[in-house]
A and B are shown apart, each in its own frame.
Chain A
Amino acid sequence: MSERTVLEVENLEVAFATSRGPLRAVQGVSLELEQGKTLGIVGESGSGKTVLSRAIMGLLPRTTASQSGSVRYKGAQILNAPDDELRKLWSTHIAMVFQDPMTSLNPVQRIGHQITEPLRVHLKLSKSEAKETALSLLMQVGIPSPTERYEAYPAQLSGGMRQRVVIAIALACAPRLLLADEPTTGLDVTVQAQILDLLGHLQHERDMAMILVTHDLGVVATRTDEIIVMYAGNVVERAPTNVLFKSMAMPYTEALLNSMPRLANPSHTRLTAIDGRPPDLLRPTPGCPFSPRCPYAQDKCHVEKPSLVETAPGHSYACWYPLGAGRRDGNAPAQREPVVP
Chain B
Amino acid sequence: MSSVSLTHPTNEAFADIKGEIAAEEAADTTKKRLGPLFWGCAGFIVLVAFLATFASVLPLPNPDLGNYSSAQNAGPGWGHLLGTDDLYRDILSRLIYGARVSLVVGFGGALIGLALGGIPAMISAFRRGRVDTVLNTTSYVFLAFPAIVAVIAIVSFWGHSLFKITLIIGIFAAPLIYRVVRAATLSYATRDFVLAAKALGASDTRILTREILPNIMPTIVSFGLIAVATIIVLEGSLAFLGLSVQPPTPSWGNMLNEGASLLTGAKGQTNPWLVIFPASAMFLLLFSLNVVADKLRAYFDVTEIKL
**A129 contacts the other chain (CB 8 A):** yes
- Judged by a CB distance under 8 angstroms, whether A10 is at the interface is no
* Those 3 A-B pairs whose CB atoms lie nearest each other, nearest first: A90-B201, A142-B14, A103-B192
Q: Which residues of A contact B (CB under 8 A)?
A: 57, 59, 63, 86-92, 95-96, 98-100, 102-109, 117-118, 121-123, 125, 129, 132-133, 136-137, 139-140, 142-144, 153-158, 160-161, 166, 169-170, 174, 190-191, 194, 198, 205
B280 interface contact, C-beta 8 A:
no
Contacting pair B20 A121 (CB below 8 A): no
Q: Which residue of B lies closest to A135 (CB)?
A: B10
Q: Besides the contacts A104-B195, A139-B13, what 5 more A-B pairs have beta carbons closer than 8 Å?
A: A90-B198, A91-B201, A142-B13, A174-B8, A194-B16
A156 and B24 form a contact (CB under 8 A): yes
Complex: how many Å from CA A112 to CA B27? 19
Complex contacts, A158 vs chain B, CB 8 Å: 20, 23-24, 27
Chain B: which residue is nearest A109 at the CB level?
B214
- CA of A143 to CA of B12, assembled, Å: 10
B215 adjacent to A169 (CB under 8 Å): no
Residue on B nearest A123 in the bound complex, by CB: B4
B14 near A194 (CB under 8 angstroms)? yes
A144–B198 touching, CB < 8 Å: no
Q: Does the CB pair B24–A161 fall under 8 Å?
A: yes
Q: Is the CB of A91 within 8 A of B24?
A: no
B216 to chain A, nearest CB (A): 10
Q: Which residues of chain B (3-44) have a CB below 8 Å from chain A?
A: 4-5, 7-14, 16-17, 19-21, 23-24, 27-29
Chain A residues contacting B268 (CB-CB under 8 Å) are none
CB<8 Å pairs between A and B, sample of 8 = A59-B195, A59-B198, A103-B192, A106-B214, A107-B193, A108-B303, A139-B10, A169-B196
Which among B13, B19, B201 is the interface contact of A190 at CB below 8 angstroms? B19
Contact A125 B4 (CB under 8 A): yes
Is the Cβ of B11 less than 8 Å from the Cβ of A140?
Answer: yes
A198: contacting residue among B5, B12, B14, CB under 8 A: B14
Shortest CB distance A153–B (Å): 6
The distance in angstroms between the C-alpha atoms of A169 and B199, with both chains bound, is 11
Q: Across the interface, which residues of B come within 8 angstroms of A105, CB to CB?
A: 193, 196
**B-chain residues with CB within 8 Å of residue A205 when the two chains form the complex:** 9
Once the chains are docked, how many angstroms separate the CA of A157 from the CA of B59? 56
Q: Is B141 an interface residue (CB 8 A)?
A: no
B134 within 8 A of A: no
Of A57, A95, A139, A155, chain B has the most CB atoms within 10 Å of the CB of: A155
Is A117 a contact partner of B4 (Cβ separation < 8 A)?
A: no
Residues of B within 8 A of A (CB): 1, 4-5, 7-14, 16-17, 19-21, 23-24, 27-29, 128-129, 191-193, 195-203, 206, 210-211, 214-215, 217, 303-304, 306-307
Q: How far is the CA of A57 from the CA of B198 in the complex (A)?
A: 10
Smallest CB separation, A142 vs chain B (Å): 4
Closest to B1 in A: A129
- Complex interface: chain B residues within 8 A of A154 (CB): 303, 307
Q: Answer whether A98 and B13 are a contact pair too, CB < 8 Å, given A108-B303, A121-B202, A156-B24.
A: no
Q: Which chain B residues lie closer than 8 Å to A160 at the CB level?
A: 17, 20, 23
- Chain B residues within an 8 Å CB radius of A59: 195, 198-199
> In the complex, which residues of chain A have a beta carbon less than 8 angstroms from the beta carbon of B203?
87
User: Given the complex of chains A and B, what is the CA–CA distance between A170 and B202 in angstroms?
Assistant: 13
Contact of A104 among B7, B19, B21, B192 (CB under 8 A): B192
- Closest-by-CB residue of B relative to A169 is B200
| Bound-complex Cα distance A125 to B128 (A) | 34
Instruction: Give A157 to B23 CA distance when docked, in angstroms.
Output: 9
B66 to chain A, nearest CB (A): 54
Chain A nearest CB, measured from B196 CB (Å): 5
Inter-chain contact B14/A106, CB cutoff 8 Å: no
Chain A residues with CB below 8 A from B28, complex form: 156
- Knowing A140-B10, A153-B303, A155-B307, say if A98 contacts B195 (CB, 8 Å): yes
Instruction: Among A87, A158, A169, find the residue whose CB has the most chain B CB atoms closer than 10 A.
Output: A158
**Does the CB pair B13–A144 fall under 8 Å?**
yes
Inter-chain contact B5/A117, CB cutoff 8 Å: no
Establish whether residues B307 and A117, one from each chain, have CB atoms under 8 Å apart when the complex forms: no
Q: In the complex, what's the smallest C-beta–C-beta distance from B125 to chain A, in angstroms?
A: 14
Contact at A155–B200, with CB atoms within 8 Å? Answer: no
Q: Are B191 and A103 in contact (CB under 8 A)?
A: yes
Are B13 and A143 closer than 8 Å at their CB atoms? yes
Q: Within 8 Å CB of A57, what residues of B?
A: 199
Complex alpha-carbon distance, A144 and B306, angstroms:
22
Cα distance A75–B4 in the bound complex, in angstroms? 26
Q: How far is the CA of A109 from the CA of B19 in the complex (A)?
A: 25
Closest to A101 in B: B192
Residues of A contacting B217 with CB < 8 Å?
108
A169 to B196, CA, bound (A): 10
Do residues B307 and A102 form an inter-chain contact, with CB atoms below 8 A? yes
Distance in Å from the Cβ of A187 to the closest Cβ of chain B? 10
List of A residues within 8 angstroms of B10 by Cβ: 136, 139-140
Residues of B near A133 (CB, < 8 A) are: 4-5, 8
Closest chain-B Cβ to A181's Cβ sits at a distance in Å of 10
Contact of B17 among A106, A144, A153 (CB under 8 A): A144
A89 vs B198: C-alpha distance when bound (angstroms): 11
**Bound CA–CA A140/B9 (angstroms):** 8
Residue of B at shortest CB range from A89?
B201
- A96:B4 contact, CB within 8 angstroms: no
